[in-house]
Structure formats: C-alpha cells, structure tokens
Amino acid sequence: MKIYLALIAILGWFALMAQFYINITSGLAPASEIIVRYFSYFTITTNLLVAIASTTLLINPLWGPGYFFSQQGTLAAITVYILIVGIIYNLILRSLWNPQGLQWVVDELLHSVIPLLFFGFWLIFAPKDDLLWKGIWSWLMYPIAYMLFILIRGSISNFYPYPFINIKVLGLNKVLTNSMGIALAFVLVSFLMVALAQFISQRKVRV
C-alpha cells in the first residue's frame, strides 16, 4: 500500500508543480492573478487534495491529518471528487484543446492517471464497511462551495475556469442548468460508490 500511495503522491505533486510552472511562465496575466486562477480550477484543488491525502496517509495515517484522511467517508468523498474531474474532462473538455509536450503529460496525469490510480487505491485498500447512503450529502459541501466561489469571483473578474460555467457567454439560466447537471453527476457517482462499497463489504462477509 505504501508504494501505491507514494506513486500517487509523487505523480500528484509533480503534475501540480509542473502545471503551476506552465501557468506562471505563460505571461497571460500578472503573477498574482495567475496564482488565483491556478487555484480556481476544480482539477487543481482536487488533485491537491489527493496529493495531500496520499502524502499524509503515507507519513502517518493514525495521527492528525492522516487520521482525518483515513476515515472511510473522507476517502470515499475524495475519490468521488477526483473521478468527477476525470469524467468531466474526458467527456466534455478533452475535445476543446490539444495540449502538447509537458502540458500534455501534466494534463494526462491530472485528468486520467491520478483519478484512476486513486480510485484503484480506494477500491483495493480503503475500508468500506461503514459507508452509509446518508453520508453522501455532506460530500457535496466542497463542490457547492467551489461553485459559489467561482461564480462570485467570475462576476467580479470575468474569469471563469470552465466554459460550461461562463455566465458572461452562456447567461445565468444556462449556467444554473449546467451546474444542476454537474451536481446530479456528483450525487450519482456518490451513490454508485456507496453501492460498490456495500457490495464489496457483503462479499467479504460471505467469504
């Protein structure tokens, strides 16, 4: 398990630092604005969450942050978040651009490799026997807080990290419709996660 966590942590921190380097050297905006924009992407904040969780679980899973990240609900929620990153990118955003070189490597790590690796970690190593259906509603707090932040900041700065939440282009009604669709995706994936956890737990009991 430690080797698996170390792999996720190393790839995660590399991808995050490389993406930051690409952004900060792009010259597309002042440095302060680029930093804010960097942390305005759900991909970045979620991969950061995965990297922190993997690192703390690797160092000490029984104390402090490691204890928090080792909780069944926490691990399941983070898995849902990073799976949504992969699903939305690969179904909606991948066709919108064609990254090259280092950006391509980083893109694949953040949107495909790390989501699959962390899901694999949850599937193989994470405890699942106490996951309950009612717990999924608390998992929505992070994406809802993120969406509120992006919409509020976008109304001030006119910067929206994703085209499907760009009020300036799409209008409020369309963005709200898109947001509801994304929220539904979070709920659906969360329900599937709990169902899978219960199925696996029941099989272990039978064995």
Q: Provide the b/e sequence for 92-127 (b: ≥16 CB within 10 Å).
A: eeeeeeeeeeeeeebbebbbebbbebbbebbeeebe
Percent of the chain surpassing pLDDT 70: 98
Over residues 17-71, the pLDDT tens digits come to 999 999 999 988 899 999 999 999 999 999 999 999 999 999 887 777 878 888 9
Q: How many CB atoms lie within 10 A of CB 197?
A: 21
Does residue 84 contact residue 186 with C-beta atoms inside 8 Å? yes
Supply the pLDDT for residue 34. 94
Tell me what the pLDDT averaged over the chain comes to.
92
Domain that holds residue 98: 2-206
Q: Which value, in Å, is the radius of gyration of the alpha carbons in the chain?
A: 18
How many folded domains does the chain comprise? 1
What's this model's pTM, rounded to 2 decimal places? 0.94
Over residues 73-106, the pLDDT tens digits come to 999 999 999 999 999 999 999 999 999 999 999 9
Burial class, 150, CB count within 10 angstroms (exposed 0-12 / middle 13-18 / buried 19+): buried
